[in-house]
Chain A
Amino acid sequence: MSRAPLYNILAAYILKHSGIVYDEKNFFQLDSRIDFLKKNLKLVSDVDLQKILQATPLASDVHVMIIDTATNNETFFFRDTKVFSTLEKNVFGKFEEGGGKIKVWSLACSSGQEACSIVMTHDKYAKGKRSDIEILASDLSTKILDKAIPGIYNQMEVQRGLPITDLVKYFEPEGDQLWRMKREYHSKINFSQFNMLKDPFPLNKFHLVFCRNVLIYQEIAQRKEVIKAIYSSLVPGGYLILGNAENLLNLSTDYVADTFDGCSFYRKPSIAKSTAA
Chain B
Amino acid sequence: MRILVIDDSNLIHSFIHTSLTAKGINIVDAENGKEGISLLKQGEKFDIILLDWNMPEMDGPTFLEQVAQNNLVDCPIVMMTTENSPQKIMRAMSLGATEYIMKPFDKTILVDKIELVLQKKIPA
Find chain B residues with CB under 8 A from A159 CB.
101-102, 105, 109, 112-113
Q: Which of B27-35, B36-44, B59-67, B82-90 contacts A (4 or more CB under 8 A)?
A: B82-90
Minimum C-beta distance from A82 to chain B (A) = 13
Tell me whether B23 is interfacial, beta carbon within 8 Å.
no
Known: A24-B11, A25-B54. A173 touches B84 (CB 8 A): yes
For A157-168 the 0/1 string (1 means CB < 8 A from B) is 001110111011
Contact status B84-A163, CB under 8 Å: no
For A97-128 the 0/1 string (1 means CB < 8 A from B) is 00000000000000000000000000000000
A23 touches which one: B89, B103, B108 (CB < 8 A)?
B103
Contact status B11-A173, CB under 8 Å: no
Contact status A18-B106, CB under 8 Å: yes
Contact status A21-B15, CB under 8 Å: yes
For A164-204 the 0/1 string (1 means CB < 8 A from B) is 11011000110001000000000000000000000000000
Tell me whether B116 is interfacial, beta carbon within 8 Å.
yes
Minimum C-beta distance from B73 to chain A (A) = 19
Residue of A nearest to B16 (CB): A21
Contact status B108-A155, CB under 8 Å: no
Residue of A nearest to B99 (CB): A164
- A21 vs B105: C-alpha distance in the bound complex, in angstroms? 6
Find chain B residues with CB under 8 A from A220 CB.
none
List which A13-28 residues lie within 8 A (CB) of chain B: 15, 18-26
Max chain B CB contacts within 10 Å: which of A23, A24, A26, A156? A23
Residue of A nearest to B117 (CB): A163
Find chain A residues with CB under 8 A from B112 CB.
159-161
Find chain A residues with CB under 8 A from B82 CB.
25-26, 29
Minimum C-beta distance from B96 to chain A (A) = 13
Q: Which residues of A approach B to under 8 Å, CB–CB?
A: 11, 15, 18-26, 29, 155-156, 159-161, 163-165, 167-168, 172-173, 177
Q: Which residues of B approach A to under 8 Å, CB–CB?
A: 7, 9, 11-12, 15, 54, 82, 84-86, 89-90, 93, 99-109, 112-113, 116
Add 20 more A-B contacts to A21-B106, A25-B9, A177-B102 (CB < 8 A): A15-B15, A19-B107, A20-B105, A20-B106, A21-B12, A22-B11, A22-B103, A23-B7, A25-B54, A29-B104, A155-B104, A156-B109, A159-B101, A160-B108, A160-B112, A164-B93, A167-B89, A168-B90, A172-B86, A173-B86
